[in-house]
Structure 1
Amino acid sequence: MRKLNLVVAGTAFLFTAGAASAQDVGDPAAGEKVFNKCKACHAVGEGAKNKIGPELNGIVGDKPSADRGGYKFSKPFQDWAADKAAWDSELLTTWLSDPRGTVKGTKMAFAGLKKPEELTNVIAYLASFDESGGKQDPAEALKAAAAK
């Protein structure tokens, strides 16, 4: 009987841990609505092009750099990005919650997203696009980005 209780408890733990991981990814559909705040400057999806800001296809897992598809970043952003490995959930959360506070002198004028669920959801939405603007599994993209 004791072994059975341990098996049941272990199974419940694994199920709960899996559910928590899935929740941590966020909701791409809700993130698409949050992305409406970003559309004036950024594009994502098939045919996305640079606007005032760079297009964001494949941003999750990509290295922050001085050049993204022909978009020229500010010198302060270039300096900040130089030692960053990849845009993962943590780095995107830092950046999207306060771009101007994160990089003094950035060209990005957006004040940032303050609600944790908006951040998680918009990151899931961005993670759902590969480099060409096609759809991909956001959980896999975020997992790969975290491993870089």
Structure 2
Amino acid sequence: MSPRVRLFALTIVLLGAAAPAMAQDATAGGLLFKQRCQACHTVTPGQPSTIAPGLIGVVGRKAGATAFSYSPALKASGLTWDKATLDKFLAAPNKLVPGTRMLVMVSDPKQRADLVAYMASLKK
């Protein structure tokens, strides 16, 4: 490897290590939710959904803990929905919980961060 290529690679590594944490925008997450999630999930307190569980108060809740017909895989997962777990789940639901019924993936890290920030804002 040439010295120039090594210097470039080192610069990339150092810049990546010094990069600030990704900003989370709950407002942008709310817009993404409307576009990608609200067809199945509800965020209105007391409004039941037959397609997917409601997301009010999801952060801090045990997976499969509300009155909804969850997949056996999700019920048995033992997960508690915190920001990191939601991020992993949204990135690849079937990778984190093989057998889940959740089909939608959000590959963009910024969009996931915004969606998670929005879900964290949904208090009971």
Matched, 1:74 2:100: no
Determine the C-alpha separation between the residues in 2 that align with 1:71 and 1:123. 21
Which ranges of 4 or more aligned residues in structure 1 deviate by more than 2 Å? 45-49
Determine the C-alpha separation between the residues in 1 that align with 2:63 and 2:83. 13
Matches within 5 A, 1:91-102: 91-102=85-96
Q: What is residue 60 of structure 1 aligned with on the other side?
A: 59
Q: What is residue 48 of structure 2 aligned with on the other side?
A: 49
Determine the C-alpha separation between the residues in 1 that align with 2:28 and 2:93. 21
How far residue 90 of structure 1 moved from its aligned partner, in angstroms, is 0.6
Determine the C-alpha separation between the residues in 2 that align with 1:105 and 1:63. 17
Q: Is the 8 A contact 1:28 1:124 kept in 2?
A: yes
Determine the C-alpha separation between the residues in 1 that align with 2:113 and 2:81. 14
Matched, 1:129 2:100: no
How far residue 47 of structure 1 moved from its aligned partner, in angstroms, is 4.7
Query: RMSD over aligned Cα, in angstroms?
Result: 1.8
Matches within 5 A, 1:1-148: 24=23, 26-35=24-33, 36-65=35-64, 67-68=65-66, 70-80=67-77, 82=78, 84=79, 86-110=80-104, 112-131=105-124
How far residue 27 of structure 1 moved from its aligned partner, in angstroms, is 0.6
Give the aligned residue type for 1:59: V
How far residue 123 of structure 1 moved from its aligned partner, in angstroms, is 0.6
Report how many aligned residue pairs link the two structures: 104
* TM-score using structure 2 length: 0.74
Unpaired runs of at least 5, structure 1 = 1-19, 132-148
Aligned-partner SS, 2:73: helix
How far residue 100 of structure 1 moved from its aligned partner, in angstroms, is 1.8
Unpaired runs of at least 5, structure 2 = 1-19
Q: Is the 8 A contact 1:43 1:51 kept in 2?
A: no
